[in-house]
Amino acid sequence: MKRLVVTLALFGWLPLNAGEPIVVASKNFTESYLLGEIIAQRLEQAGMEVDRRFGLGGTLICFEALLAGEIDVYVEYSGTLERTILKLGQRTSILELNERLLSRGLSLLSPLGFNNTYAIAVRKEVAEEFSLERISQLTDYRDLRVVVSHEFLEREDGWPGMRRVYGFDWIPEGIEHGLAYQAMADGSIDITDAYSTDGELQRYDLTVLADDKAFFPTYLAMPLIRDDLSPRAQAAIEDLAGTLDDSSMASLNASVVFEGADFASAATNHLRSIGFDVADGRSNTFDDLIRNTQRHLWLTAIALLTATVVGIVLALAVFQVTWISNAVLYVAGLLQTIPSIALLALMIPIFGIGMLPAVVALFLYSLLPIVRNSVTALVTVDPVLRRVGKAMGLTRYDELRYVYVPLAMPAILAGVRTAAVISIGTATLAAFIGAGGLGDPIVTGLALNDTSLILQGAIPAAVLAIATELMFEGIERVLVPRHLKVLEQPR
């Protein structure tokens, strides 16, 4: 097995240490995509190879994936670390957060600069008119129309807390957050709550008041890394420290949400604006294609190899006792009836996300054709030859090796080939649990209704299937005894 791993690594399939790309992840919302892309491009500019695993489904999936070494870096917020992940009291210092993370093999790099927390936004004209700059000034301007979101109105870290800290004695009306911006725009509201990096702040030209009594919890964005990340990579990411203040983050968000920029070019623009000479855009479709195909190949190859070995050994172990081999086939069949999405979902609590659960699922799906074909072929080996083998004095093992397996080989290989093709098809679903591969563009393409993206996955998958068939033809040429290949056509 060791030798196998090394061999595969030589072909660039296995992420061994040497030359292994850095896996940059993001959560599935705009800001996180942008931050991921910025880090990725910075690393690439510094000459490192990057594997993007963007859009993972939530905080915990990102964190677990980082712990498991599935990913190397993503951007997390200090408040989220404090409350959601580490479940600590409020106002934990970044030093303390880092200490706790260090004991788990992770490490925080310096904050990128901005703090994505609640903010109090004021229409620019109003702010200018009254020279509003700090929240505490609000006590002096009671007749300004303050309307806040329902959530803010009720959360302890929203209005109720703020009221106590700043000493406000009135209760504003509530509004739908999405509507508040428009209400500000048309002047029907003067002041509302916001997130400090919302793109809307730019779009509607709003002024954010300073939280001068430091009431709001801090949600500083910081790259969270595995501490075995190479010093070179760490240094490159560290170069980004403090380069993104609230307003530039907000305008980056706005450029994507309102101006339709894509993540890659928005990130490129930002990096250039802060002096990093990154290459144009990203979107090296060809690289994507190669990486996805490699990942796909790797997923199916591992699953198939394991299934082949396990399947054949299982078949050899049980084929001589009908009821046991039936039982094995039933179980393999039951596994097959679990719909692939459900099976992948079932894997998550056991194996987390990433390649492992995908490989396990593919392995389970591959078993049935291999075991069934092997058992059938072994059982139907000519009884005369079986008896001859015994009579010659072959041991149990040698019988299997020299009589049963070679005679059953064509059917066994047929089972493996069927399993291989099914695996290549099913592996496209692995994208759902962050295992990557050719499913990535297909799934994204299906969601965005983008045919060219779908084809970026579908065509290589088809090519892979054909290539697999060709490979197996080669294998068959070697493994299938010559007498079975005589398809002479007597008239």
Partner 1 sequence: MDECVRLEDVGKQFDGQWVFRHVSLTLPQRQTTAIVGESGCGKTTLLQLINGVVSVDEGVLSVLNAPIPETGLPAFRRKIGYAVQGAGLFPHMTVQQNVDLMARLEGWPESKIRNRVRRLFELMGLDSALGTRYPYQLSGGQQQRVGLCRAMMLEPPLLLLDEPFSAIDPITREEIYGHFEVLQQQESVSALLVTHDLREAVRLAQFLVFMGSGQILQHGETATVIESPASESIRRLIETQL
| Binding region for partner 1 (CB under 8 A) | 382-385, 387-395, 398, 402-403, 406-407, 481-484, 486, 490-491
Residue 473 site contact among a copy of itself, partner 1, none (CB < 5 to 8 Å, cut-off depends on kind): a copy of itself
Residue 58 to residues 29, 327, 352, 440, Cα–Cα distance (Å): 9, 40, 13, 17
Q: How many residues bind a copy of itself (CB under 8 A)?
A: 69
Structure tokens at 479: 């493994």
Contact characters 335-354, a copy of itself, x per CB under 8 A: -xxxxxxx--x---------
Beta strands in 30-176 (DSSP E): 50-56, 73-77, 106-108, 118-123, 147-149, 173-175
The smaller minimum CB distance to partner 1, of residues 174 and 410, is found at 410
Q: What Rg do the C-alpha atoms of the chain give, in angstroms?
A: 30
Q: Which distant-in-sequence residues (6+ apart) come within 8 Å of 170 by Cβ?
A: 142, 146
Structure tokens at 270: 């930002």
Question: Which amino acid is present at 188?
Answer: S
Structure tokens at 137: 């000034």
Minimum distance between the CB of residue 416 and partner 1, rounded to whole angstroms? 18
Minimum distance between the CB of residue 390 and a copy of itself, rounded to whole angstroms? 5
Structure tokens at 349: 């609590």
Report yes or no: 400 and 408 within 8 Å, Cβ to Cβ: no
Residue 73 site contact among partner 1, a copy of itself, none (CB < 5 to 8 Å, cut-off depends on kind): none
Q: Which distant-in-sequence residues (6+ apart) come within 8 Å of 385 by Cβ?
A: 403, 407
Residue 337 site contact among a copy of itself, partner 1, none (CB < 5 to 8 Å, cut-off depends on kind): a copy of itself
> From the CB of residue 53, how many other CB atoms can be counted at a distance below 10 Å?
24
Minimum distance between the CB of residue 259 and a copy of itself, rounded to whole angstroms? 21
The smaller minimum CB distance to a copy of itself, of residues 134 and 387, is found at 387
The CA distance from 300 to 366, in Å, is: 10
The smaller minimum CB distance to a copy of itself, of residues 88 and 341, is found at 341
Interface with a copy of itself (CB under 8 A), residue from 68, 394, 465, 479: 465
The smaller minimum CB distance to a copy of itself, of residues 1 and 391, is found at 391
Give the ranges where 198-339 is alpha helix by DSSP (H). 199-203, 231-238, 246-257, 263-273, 285-318, 322-337
Site membership for a copy of itself, residue 417 (CB under 8 A): yes
Site membership for a copy of itself, residue 176 (CB under 8 A): yes
Site membership for a copy of itself, residue 185 (CB under 8 A): no
Interface with a copy of itself (CB under 8 A), residue from 290, 326, 401, 402: 326
- Alpha carbon 332 to its chain centroid, in Å, reads 29
Interface with a copy of itself (CB under 8 A), residue from 178, 231, 393, 474: 178
Range 165-196 burial, b when 16+ CB lie within 10 A, else e: ebebeeebebbebeebbebbeeeebbbbbbbb
Site membership for a copy of itself, residue 301 (CB under 8 A): no
Site membership for a copy of itself, residue 473 (CB under 8 A): yes
Contact positions vs a copy of itself (CB under 8 A): 173, 175-176, 178-179, 182, 186, 320, 322, 326, 329-330, 333-334, 336-342, 345, 368-369, 372-373, 376-377, 379-380, 383, 386-387, 390, 410-411, 413-415, 417-418, 421-422, 424-426, 428-429, 439, 442, 446, 454, 458, 461-462, 464-466, 468-469, 473, 483-484, 486-491
